[in-house]
Amino acid sequence: MKKSILALCALSFLAPATLSAHCQVPCGIYDDNNVIQKMHTDFVTVEKAAKQIIELSKDPAKNAHQLTRWINNKESHAQAIQETVLNYFLAQRLKTDEADKETYLAKLTLCHKVIVTAMKCKQSTDPAHVATLHDLLHDFEKHFGEKK
């Protein structure tokens, strides 16, 4: 019995330290349109947070707690967009064997633009970055969304 427990303990060190919701196996249960819709929801939160931060910054001493909450929310939702593009679309949905090289490069470039623009949204409340992210996500949906 002790040997079995020791063997299990030893094997547990070989297991990954963290588990994610998606194991990157071609299980077929994920729907690109649902994933893209979640990215739009994350965007709406980034957009609202940026506006709230600008408004609350007019009196930062009075609004310090709310400012902190909105900043944290803006950053976490922008990060979620980045992680979705990186871990779902770049790792799993963008294929090097696209119909043609131009399609592949266009999708790859779009992924990079979304990641960088989401980063800029994390770093500031500039409405231009928010507007750019909005447009990129709609373009992203055209390239990656499934036609139903």
DSSP string, 21-78: S---S--S---HHHHHHHHHHHHHHHHHHHHHHHHHTTSTTTTHHHHHHHHHHHHHHH
> CA of 89: how far to CAs of 30, 53, 69, 144, 145, in Å?
12, 30, 29, 8, 11
H/E segment holding residue 148: none
* CA 43 – CA 10 distance, rounded (Å): 44
Q: What pTM value is reported for the model? A: 0.79
Instruction: Give the number of domains in the chain.
Output: 1
In a domain, 102, yes or no: yes
Q: Encoding tokens for residue 143? A: 């390239």
Q: What angle do CA 139, 84, 57 make, to 5 degrees?
A: 85
pLDDT of residue 18: 41
Q: Is residue 113 a contact partner of residue 106, using CB atoms and an 8 Å limit?
A: no
Could you list the residue range(s) of the whole structural domain that residue 123 is in? 33-144
pLDDT tens for each residue of the chain, 148 residues long: 555 554 444 444 444 444 334 455 555 666 888 999 999 999 999 999 999 999 999 999 999 999 999 999 999 999 999 999 999 999 888 888 767 888 899 999 999 999 999 999 999 999 999 999 999 999 999 998 875 5
In a domain, 64, yes or no: yes
In a domain, 15, yes or no: no
CATH code: domain of residue 90: 1.20.120
In a domain, 13, yes or no: no
